[in-house]
Amino acid sequence: MRRTDLMILPVLGLMLAAGGCKNRSGSGSGSGSTGGGSTGGSVTLSFAGPLDAAPSQGDEVAVSWAIATNTANDPPGSMRYSVYRGTKPDMSDEQLVLDRAAQHALLDGGLLDDVTYYYRVVAFDPAGNQSEDTGLVSAHLPRIPLPPIDYGTEVGPLWSTVPARDGKTVCIDCHHDQQPYGFLSLESWERVMIGRGTPEKPDGFIIEGNAKRTGAAFLELYFNEQNPVQAHRAWRFKREFFLPEVANWVDEGALPVPDTTRPSFDFDDLQNRARYSATNNGDGTAYVNFPHARDPESVPIREKLDDHLEYHVYGGPDSASIDFRNPVAVVKRYFFDKESTTYGVRFPWPHETGAFVVRAYDYTGNASLHEREVGF
């Protein structure tokens, strides 16, 4: 990833070749646009190296690099590039993924999730002059969560599997959809979520994403010694048949159907420099500002004033060293006011420089893919 624009279109590399800021680690020439070059004769090859690597699909990274030039004035189209990919910053396990091709962007597919990939690029001119170390760019594909729990096949049936003391009565014998509003039905997802309320004013005992409170509410309502419903009191010992399964589903947002769709930041936001920023506060802390992501599939049934997505800020001293396993800051669900356009989070930052990426997570753990890197 890189600190300027995201989402690389093949043409973009060309436009940026003139002098975008490159986030590179490793030795390299360090400053600006001379990758140097071993030369044949007196011709010198200049190459600014890789510009960016960023997730473009769940298993694919888009890599782009600058256009090489040489003192023989060979045309840009005559330059060739080789790309190496590794999973370690020292590139000790690198593999050649593009061999002397006349292109300056690459979609590298078939990759694993939750792995940081590093890329280096070598340029060649028609005479075979070769660029030297121009540093690395890196990208990390978000971890793909386990398949979410399906209410219809894994949770709903529980309401009719545990019989009461009479050996046959199950929950939905009493709690069924034929009962009007004002009586809890456990027969359909809608009614479970509505509870004893109405679609407009749901008051179900299940609270999306919050198994702890849901479990407590459920126990209180169901296993209360004072409960006038005889059947309830009789089943106290059977709570373990329900709670673990229901709890996992509740923590995944208590959704009607499994959600495997990623949250995503708005394309216009990603293009808009003003919507993302990083500041070094100069007092050992940094500040990162970002907009809402969207994920209609996981919006909870009850109207919420705040964003239900969780945001993780990942950082590193430079782009290629961002730690995507341990966020430097987490913005919990329901902290980011829906009315606010951006959220700012402040966190300890011991480095002079910084590169940051924000990812949004829904209840299931699906993470946003397209990102905008910010830094200082």
What CA–CA distance (Å, rounded) separates 8 from 172? 54
> Minimum distance from CB of 197 to ligand HEC (Å)?
9
List, as one string, the DSSP characters of 1-64: --SS--S--HHHHHHHTTT-----BSSS--STT----B-STT--EE---EEEEEEEETTEEEEE
Judged by CB, which is closer to ligand HEC: 218, or 349? 218
From candidates 16, 171, 286, 355, binder to ligand HEC by CB under 6 A: 171
Does residue 336 contact residue 311 with C-beta atoms inside 8 Å?
yes
> Minimum distance from CB of 149 to ligand HEC (Å)?
17
> Minimum distance from CB of 151 to ligand HEC (Å)?
15
From candidates 100, 143, 176, 196, binder to ligand HEC by CB under 6 A: 196
Judged by CB, which is closer to ligand HEC: 39, or 169? 169
What CA–CA distance (Å, rounded) separates 60 from 55? 6
Judged by CB, which is closer to ligand HEC: 15, or 229? 229
Indicate whether 164 belongs to the interface with ligand HEC (CB under 6 A).
Answer: yes
Indicate whether 218 belongs to the interface with ligand HEC (CB under 6 A).
Answer: yes
Indicate whether 229 belongs to the interface with ligand HEC (CB under 6 A).
Answer: yes
Indicate whether 143 belongs to the interface with ligand HEC (CB under 6 A).
Answer: no
**CA gyration radius for the chain?**
27
Amino acid of residue 282 = G
Judged by CB, which is closer to ligand HEC: 94, or 190? 190
Indicate whether 7 belongs to the interface with ligand HEC (CB under 6 A).
Answer: no
From candidates 173, 177, 303, 337, binder to ligand HEC by CB under 6 A: 173
Q: What is the dihedral of CA 219, 222, 226, 227, to 10 degrees?
A: 170
From candidates 174, 243, 247, 299, binder to ligand HEC by CB under 6 A: 174
What CA–CA distance (Å, rounded) separates 243 from 254? 13
Indicate whether 221 belongs to the interface with ligand HEC (CB under 6 A).
Answer: yes
Judged by CB, which is closer to ligand HEC: 114, or 220? 220
> ∠80-83-87 over CA atoms, to 5°?
175
Indicate whether 239 belongs to the interface with ligand HEC (CB under 6 A).
Answer: no
Q: Catalogue the E-assigned strands of 102-243.
A: 105-108, 116-124, 137-140
What CA–CA distance (Å, rounded) separates 128 from 351? 40
Number of residues lying near ligand HEC (CB under 6 A): 19
What CA–CA distance (Å, rounded) separates 217 from 223? 10
What CA–CA distance (Å, rounded) separates 123 from 132? 8
Judged by CB, which is closer to ligand HEC: 203, or 323? 203
Q: Kindly write out the interface string for residues 299-338 of this chain, putting x where it contacts ligand HEC by CB under 6 A and - elsewhere.
A: ----------------------------------------
Indicate whether 202 belongs to the interface with ligand HEC (CB under 6 A).
Answer: no
Buried residues in 90-128 as b, exposed as e (16+ CB within 10 A): ebeebeebbeeeeebbbebeebeeeebbbbbbbbbbeee
Does residue 254 contact residue 193 with C-beta atoms inside 8 Å?
yes
The region of 41-49, 51-59, 76-84, 164-172 touching ligand HEC under the rule CB under 6 A is 164-172
> Minimum distance from CB of 234 to ligand HEC (Å)?
9
The region of 63-71, 171-179, 261-269, 321-329 touching ligand HEC under the rule CB under 6 A is 171-179
DSSP 74: -
Indicate whether 162 belongs to the interface with ligand HEC (CB under 6 A).
Answer: yes
Residues of this chain that bind ligand HEC (CB under 6 A): 162, 164, 169, 171, 173-175, 183-184, 195-196, 205, 218, 221-222, 229, 231-232, 235
